[in-house]
């Protein structure tokens, strides 16, 4: 039996007006994954509110980028990897696929490590066991899609709210230095380490794999037969993107503020997630520590499921091949489990994984800008000139920050 369709602003939807919202909230969980915990806590505990401007700028970039990705999916009915395969030569497509797989490995590293750390903090489980459990939960989350994409989106959004509640509680009882926070909005660095952290924060906030994913998420339940319907749907997706990315930005700012306010003056410097858990417990109490652990767990579980889904979109889009999820998961999961088994510093591994993600952003963003500026592909949804200019500037800033990181690292 076909589901009833309703109309809202010229858009035909399946399941009513609320069905217009959701894709951006799935993408948003990737913007608050365990890598964000590592980079934001490191930045806040080590440098106070100095790098708060990085989060604000990154979040604004994220809104633009995810909007463009959603727009490409609405206009063409295809994901970004599919569009790349259709419009670029085979060598370029294969190169983009290889780097996207490396990004997927870095993404999995952050998510599996984060879930494993949370399970160790909350239940005392060994990291390797926690990593396997996190992977298993990701499969379970994806299994929800067989019962309808809406259930998957609702569960992911619920986990997003768990993270929000955890940090808002700590923020309320711990307070914020408003003057220092405002001062942190002025762009500046304080040495090579802050550039590394800023790049990691950017990589953790603007996520390449959900740039690939977002267009695919818009294809499952929207009817867009005419330009009028596509334009109306695009307007609704602006609301979705701004609401979801705004929520993710609030969570990231809360992470940094909690670390800056409560962890920067401790006798022993906080440079690990475990140290942050202990520090929050010591300064704000056991309830705050418990909520921190639950937020980390929800983040790791949800982001791992979204990461696996985006990996399937990447593989299918670039290569026109769909492989079993078990195989797909093992390919990107293995490096994370090897790192866990080797006893590598988990927080350092999380930060570095976010730097790798930052290097992958231009390879997703530049093709996105190139394709969304083409009227033959986008029709009435083609970028306006100023949109393309701003998006190109974003790509240039990200690339420039990465080059600066390399230079400062080599000479420092």
More confident residue, 17 or 113: 113
Task: Write out the two tokens for 319.
Answer: 């290569």
- pLDDT at site 406: 64
Q: What region does 320 belong to: left with phi over 0, alpha with psi -120 to 50, or beta?
A: left
Q: Where are the alpha helices (DSSP H) in 77-207?
A: 80-87, 90-123, 127-143, 149-174, 178-183, 192-205
Task: Write out the two tokens for 318.
Answer: 């670039």
Following DSSP, what letter does each residue of 334-369 receive, concatenated?
HHHHHHHHHT--HHHHHHHHHHHHHHHHHHHHHHHH
pLDDT tens digits for range 160-174? 999 999 999 999 999
The owner of tokens 């942190």 is 184
pLDDT tens digits for range 42-96? 899 999 999 999 999 999 999 999 999 999 999 999 999 999 999 999 999 999 9
Task: In whole angstroms, give the CA distance from residue 99 to residue 105.
Answer: 10
Confidence of residue 198 (pLDDT cuts 50, 70, 90): confident
**184 sits in which H/E element:** none
Confidence of residue 29 (pLDDT cuts 50, 70, 90): very high
Whether the pLDDT of residue 318 is over 50: the answer is yes
- pLDDT at site 222: 63
Confidence of residue 5 (pLDDT cuts 50, 70, 90): very low
* Residue 352 CA: distances (Å) to CA of 186, 363, 396, 412: 25, 18, 22, 17
Of 123-137, 261-275, 391-405, the least confident: 391-405
pLDDT tens digits for range 36-52? 898 899 899 999 999 99
Confidence of residue 7 (pLDDT cuts 50, 70, 90): very low
User: Are 404 and 195 within 8 A, CB to CB?
Assistant: yes
Cα torsion angle, 184, 188, 192, 195, sign? positive
**Under DSSP, is residue 61 helix (H, G, I), strand (E, B) or coil?**
helix
Confidence of residue 13 (pLDDT cuts 50, 70, 90): very low
Per the DSSP assignment, residues forming a β-bridge with 12 are 7, 223
Query: What is the mean pLDDT of the segment spanning 99-106?
Result: 86
Whether the pLDDT of residue 308 is over 50: the answer is yes
**20 sits in which H/E element:** none
Confidence of residue 297 (pLDDT cuts 50, 70, 90): very high
pTM of the full structure: 0.89
- pLDDT at site 263: 94
Superfamily assignment of 5-411 in CATH?
Amino acid/polyamine transporter I (1.20.1740.10)
- pLDDT at site 15: 44
Confidence of residue 276 (pLDDT cuts 50, 70, 90): very high
Task: In whole angstroms, give the CA distance from residue 210 to residue 401.
Answer: 21
Confidence of residue 146 (pLDDT cuts 50, 70, 90): low
* Strands laid side by side in the 5-8 sheet: 5-8, 11-14, 222-223
- pLDDT at site 19: 54
Number of H-type helices and E-type strands within the chain? 17, 3
Task: In whole angstroms, give the CA distance from residue 47 to residue 189.
Answer: 10
Of 229-238, 294-303, 319-328, the least confident: 319-328
Domain boundaries, the chain: 5-411
Comparing CA positions, the residue from 108, 42, 116 lying closest to residue 357 is 108
Task: In whole angstroms, give the CA distance from residue 278 to residue 264.
Answer: 13
User: Are 21 and 242 within 8 A, CB to CB?
Assistant: no
Query: What is the mean pLDDT of the segment spanning 246-250?
Result: 94
Task: In whole angstroms, give the CA distance from residue 181 to residue 191.
Answer: 20
Whether the pLDDT of residue 390 is over 50: the answer is yes
- pLDDT at site 362: 87
User: Are 165 and 32 within 8 A, CB to CB?
Assistant: no
Task: In whole angstroms, give the CA distance from residue 382 to residue 402.
Answer: 29
Average pLDDT, the chain: 86
């Amino acid at each position: 039996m076909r589901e009833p369709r309703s109309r809202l602003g010229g858009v035909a939807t399946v399941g009513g007006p609320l069905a217009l919202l959701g894709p951006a909230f799935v993408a948003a969980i990737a913007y608050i994954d365990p890598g964000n915990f590592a980079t934001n806590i490191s930045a806040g505990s080590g440098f106070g509110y100095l790098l708060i401007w990085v989060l604000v700028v990154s979040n604004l970039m994220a809104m633009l980028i995810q909007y463009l990705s959603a727009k490409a999916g609405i206009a063409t009915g295809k994901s970004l990897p599919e569009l790349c395969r259709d419009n670029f030569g085979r060598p370029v497509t294969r190169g983009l696929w290889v780097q996207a797989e490396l990004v997927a490995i870095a993404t999995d590293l952050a998510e599996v490590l984060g879930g494993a750390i949370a399970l160790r903090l909350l239940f005392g489980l060994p990291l390797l066991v926690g990593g396997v459990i996190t992977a298993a939960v990701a499969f379970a989350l994806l299994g929800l899609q067989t019962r309808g994409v809406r259930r998957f989106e609702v569960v992911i959004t619920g986990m997003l709210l768990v993270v929000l509640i955890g940090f808002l509680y700590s923020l309320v009882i711990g307070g914020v230095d408003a003057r220092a926070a405002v001062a942190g909005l002025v762009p500046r660095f304080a040495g090579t380490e802050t550039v590394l952290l800023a790049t990691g924060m950017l990589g953790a906030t603007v996520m390449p794999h959900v740039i690939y994913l977002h267009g695919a998420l818009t294809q499952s339940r929207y009817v867009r037969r005419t330009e009028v319907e596509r334009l109306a749907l695009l307007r609704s997706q602006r609301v979705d993107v701004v609401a979801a990315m705004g929520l993710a930005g609030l969570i990231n700012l809360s992470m940094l503020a909690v670390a800056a306010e409560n962890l920067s003056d401790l006798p022993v410097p906080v440079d690990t997630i475990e140290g942050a858990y202990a520090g929050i417990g010591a300064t704000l109490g056991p309830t705050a520590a418990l909520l921190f652990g639950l937020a980390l767990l929800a983040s790791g579980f949800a982001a791992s499921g979204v990461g696996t889904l985006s990996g399937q979109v990447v593989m299918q889009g670039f290569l026109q091949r769909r492989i079993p999820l078990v195989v797909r998961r093992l390919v990107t999961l293995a490096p994370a489990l090897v790192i866990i088994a080797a006893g590598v510093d988990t927080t350092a591994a999380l930060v570095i994984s976010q730097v790798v993600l930052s290097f992958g952003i231009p390879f997703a963003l530049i093709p996105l800008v190139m394709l969304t500026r083409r009227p033959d592909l986008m029709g009435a949804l083609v970028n306006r000139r100023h949109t393309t200019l701003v998006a190109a500037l974003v790509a240039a800033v990200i690339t420039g920050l990465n080059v600066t990181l390399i230079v400062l690292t080599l000479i420092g």
